[in-house]
Amino acid sequence: MLSKEELKQPSILFVSKNKNKFIEASYILSSFNIKLEWAPYSKLEIQSSSLTDIASFAAKNAFESIKKPLIVEDDGLFIKVLKGFPGPFSSYVYSTIGLNGILKLMEGVDDRECFFESAVAFCDQNINKVFVGRVYGEISRVIKGSYGFGFDPIFIPKGENLTFAEMPLNYKCSISHRAVALRDFAKWFLKNFKYYL
């Protein structure tokens, strides 16, 4: 006989090869009692300047093969003087020129304004909906901190002196682009989809 646990609807899958994103997303959604399960697959990435379109397409594509309610999240770091670069190319830029490459591009530049954007796409058999979050800040002059991942060591959120990589997870997750998008998602989800939990 199935246990009470097994009879429950499955939790939502978080499709990403990036475990850090899953850990942060799980932490953020845990305060809404929404449970995520990690599906460590690469998402399909279309060419677009819109993270919303990239996430939405990837979620639909993942749902077609997995056929379970899921989330895909696409992120990007948009630097003002670089006209939004690396934006939708953030993953590629991170793994090629990396943090040092970004700092090099910003050498001698005083205007260091930038923002992180997160597009969270939820998809099931009936719906494909995207929630967007942003956090504004600036690119640091040097690489600082050892928490977090990706561009965290060079991103200083507005109003702070520390990079994301100098902040413990609970603090980053109270102000991040991911938190803004996922909190919106959580409110919508709890209103509309109680039966999944």
For the CB of residue 155, give the shortest distance to ligand ITT in the complex, in Å.
Answer: 6
Backbone conformation region of residue 102, classed left if phi is above 0, alpha if psi is from -120 to 50, else beta = alpha
Residue 183 found at the interface with ligand ITT (CB under 6 A): no
Select the residue whose beta carbon is closest to ligand ITT and give its number: 150
Where would I find the H helices in 34-176?
51-66, 90-96, 98-105, 169-175
Q: Which one of the spans 27-35, 72-80, 121-129, 181-189 is the region binding ligand ITT (CB under 6 A)?
A: 72-80
Nearer to ligand ITT, 17 or 187 (CB): 17
Cβ at position 63, least distance to ligand ITT in Å: 15
Instruction: Report the catalytic residues.
Output: 74
Q: How far apart are CA 141 and CA 127, in angstroms?
A: 43
Our CB check for ligand ITT shows the closer of 18 and 34 to be 18
Which residue in the set 94, 136, 147, 193 belongs to the binding site for ligand ITT (CB under 6 A)?
94
Interactions with ligand ITT, residue window 34-53 (CB under 6 A) = 42-43
Contacts by 35-38, CB closer than 8 A, 24 or more apart: 35/11, 35/197, 36/11, 36/12, 36/71, 37/10, 37/11, 37/12, 37/13, 38/13, 38/14
176 touching ligand ITT, by CB under 6 A: yes
